Chains A and B, each alone.
Chain A
């Protein structure tokens, strides 16, 4: 029986020969089939983890931004309280305190509340219609500092104590310290959650990669038989996991970006209402800002990189076992 190889020499076939080009489709199939990797579930895990990480980052960014705004506002204003003391003229004490404050370096403006204004300040707590003039209500002096300046409040406090013994200076340091602690706590909590999210992602990718390697072991063996190095084999798997990581990261991070975008738009609308202004002043802005959006975009890349690097490590470890 005549064979196809009877009348031709293999060297001719292997040298390209008289190109008898058949209708072969070009190589398009990945060596490691995508279906053999738990792609959808892994992409879903990465998407959820990226979404959670992005929410955490966004929330931490908002807290830090709000705290920074508060600190900035509060830090630029200090108050001097002049208490009424028997035998002293409170109006003269107020004038002396104002003069002392104005003499300090880095002070932009000093304004003493009038007696009526000081009484109005306590009215919400004591109610109206009372004869407040008979009560020893302290007088407030608001001192605004020059932006960026760091006035010497210790010296001011000392000068006030010398000239107006009944005056006390409150630079809101306690509030600012508490605010800073709260913002730092939010950042630390955010980082801790991010670390946990990355740990869960690493574990998920580890299990998925081990499963994929076990499923594709026959393919790995054939690749070794045809002379593939471990690097080549690993790259075939890594490509899949990098794509999966990007896909999952983009879905999760994209969802978070959309959510913050909607929240920002809603916040902008709400800020224009009377209640919104008050809420904004109290809670700060509800937008994550450019740095927040950049951080979320960075997380998409981070999650894809974590997925690819983890899978590469597991593939390398598994390949060492397959000898």
Chain B
């Protein structure tokens, strides 16, 4: 599904922060992306999300060479990827329901066609009572779940999560991990970027470890 071959990344004229990355992300797979702070986890996630271009190497996304994609082509491919940011990136002027429905609205779908689906998903992530709440009044955990719901509402083939437990207590972190596992069981490939070893110990999954700009894969 996703293939990186000898990918390198540098910012400006600086040294390469990521070197010779070669790995695959298969359909229905689950992996943690880990490494010390500053190792380049977020940069790699951004490349996976097509918001950062590598300086060398091949990135193939869903059988498309990422280097040859137009801007609209990237937008179209992004619809097959869901992303959960560490800082949630919810739009404060939209309700929880509207935030979660945003990817479907962008796709031009009619609200009558997706309304029940969004409401059901919000119930599923435990936000059934917060449907009309605005993000500023949601707790950290609720925002995280709203962000996850937004990331999966369009049924992406790949879900990327950047430090999804970074802003929540360990108990909620474990609960969110179970949520990601459930999503994976439903067929979505999951990549969770985290440096929380305790969280990774909770679930036996493939680990992509970034260290000194290189990637080590532990299947």
Q: State the A residues within 8 Å of B (CB).
A: 1, 3-6, 8-27, 29, 31, 33, 218-219, 221-232, 323
Question: Main secondary structure on chain A at its contact with chain B?
Answer: loop
Which residue of B119, B153, B154 is within 8 Å of A24 (Cβ)? B119
The reply on B10 being an interface residue by CB < 8 A is: no
In the bound complex, CA of A267 to CA of B136 (Å): 60
CB<8 Å pairs between A and B, sample of 16: A4-B126, A5-B125, A6-B178, A10-B186, A13-B120, A14-B155, A15-B117, A18-B120, A19-B116, A19-B120, A23-B131, A25-B97, A31-B105, A224-B78, A227-B76, A229-B75
Which residue of A23, A225, A227 is within 8 Å of B132 (Cβ)? A23
In the bound complex, CA of A22 to CA of B97 (Å): 10
A25 touches B95 (CB 8 A): yes
B93 touches A22 (CB 8 A): no
For chain B, give the interface size range.
35 or more
A227 touches B123 (CB 8 A): no
B128 touches A22 (CB 8 A): yes
A227 touches B154 (CB 8 A): yes
Q: State the B residues within 8 Å of A (CB).
A: 49, 51, 71-72, 75-76, 78-79, 83, 85, 89, 91, 93-95, 97-98, 101-103, 105-107, 111, 115-126, 128, 131-132, 150, 152-155, 171, 175, 178-179, 182-183, 185-187
Q: With both chains docked as a complex, state the minimum distance between the C-beta of A111 and any C-beta of chain B, in angstroms.
A: 78
A229 touches B103 (CB 8 A): no
Q: With both chains docked as a complex, state the minimum distance between the C-beta of A17 and any C-beta of chain B, in angstroms.
A: 4
A-B pairs with beta carbons under 8 A, tally: 141
A227 touches B122 (CB 8 A): no
Q: With both chains docked as a complex, state the minimum distance between the C-beta of A16 and any C-beta of chain B, in angstroms.
A: 5
Q: A4-B123, A11-B187 are in contact. List 12 more A-B contacts (CB 8 A).
A: A16-B117, A24-B118, A25-B132, A27-B111, A31-B105, A33-B93, A225-B51, A225-B83, A225-B85, A229-B71, A230-B71, A230-B75
A22 touches B119 (CB 8 A): yes
A29 touches B93 (CB 8 A): yes
In the bound complex, CA of A223 to CA of B85 (Å): 14
**Which chain B residues lie closer than 8 Å to A10 at the CB level?**
121, 124, 152, 182-183, 185-186
Q: With both chains docked as a complex, state the minimum distance between the C-beta of B185 and any C-beta of chain A, in angstroms.
A: 8
Q: With both chains docked as a complex, state the minimum distance between the C-beta of A117 and any C-beta of chain B, in angstroms.
A: 83
B152 touches A20 (CB 8 A): no
Which residue of B89, B185, B187 is within 8 Å of A221 (Cβ)? B89
A5 touches B75 (CB 8 A): no
